[in-house]
Amino acid sequence: MNIYTMEQWQADGTFNAAPGQGIEDAVYNEMLNCVPPKSLPSETAQRALNKYGIPVHAGFLMGEPHSSDGSGPLYMAFGMNRYKQKCYFYLGLSHAEKKLNGIYYYMDCMNAFVNDGLFPASEFADDAEAIRTAANYEATLHKYEYKDGIRTADAVLYETRYY
């Protein structure tokens, strides 16, 4: 697939890159700067790797929805990687990351962990069970509180002795 350029975009009359297609840096920057962007969800970056073979080092969602489905608004997603040179990509449509609310445990460990290591407190009976689980995985355990996606409290409950 060819790199989608500003000239193509102008000729098409509307943005028409295919999901997974490389885009020119001018296209990426135009999309980034036209409205305030949203954060690129980690699951969108993971999908780019799994579906298109694109490792994403940075990216964003357009600040305005493109369309919607039964799960809510869909945003155009863009990513970049920095191997030998910067490469930019259109990643298709994505939902925005859900804003966290409540108490969560974060397990910081070397193992590949589901949920990016972040678990709702309701998945554990209490702090002691979360600490036992962290110790089993040789993970440092943090307890976070979120309000509307912003971390408002943070405590280290257990530090692993192994690093």
Of 38, 42, 57, 45, nearest to 20 (Cα)? 45
Cα end-to-end span (Å), the chain: 43
Query: Domain of 89?
Result: 6-94
Question: Which of 94, 113, 128 is where one domain is finished?
Answer: 94
- What integer pLDDT is reported at residue 50 of this predicted model? 93
Q: Are residues 16 and 63 in the same domain?
A: yes
Q: Are residues 128 and 73 in the same domain?
A: no
1 part of a folded domain: no
Q: Report the C-alpha gap between 91 and 124 in whole angstroms.
A: 35
59 part of a folded domain: yes
Q: Are residues 108 and 58 in the same domain?
A: no
Arithmetic mean of pLDDT, 118-138:
92
To the nearest whole number, what is the mean pLDDT of the chain?
90
Q: Are residues 111 and 63 in the same domain?
A: no
- pLDDT tens string 140-158: 999 999 998 889 999 999 9
Six-digit token string for 135: 């110790």
Q: Report the C-alpha gap between 163 and 138 in whole angstroms.
A: 9
Integer CA distances (angstroms), 92 to 60, 87, 157, in order: 11, 16, 39
In the chain, the number of structural domains is 2
Q: Are residues 64 and 11 in the same domain?
A: yes
163 part of a folded domain: no
- pLDDT tens string 21-80: 999 999 999 999 999 999 899 889 999 999 999 999 899 999 999 999 998 999 999 999
Question: Which of 63, 94, 125 is where one domain is finished?
Answer: 94
Arithmetic mean of pLDDT, 123-129:
96
14 part of a folded domain: yes
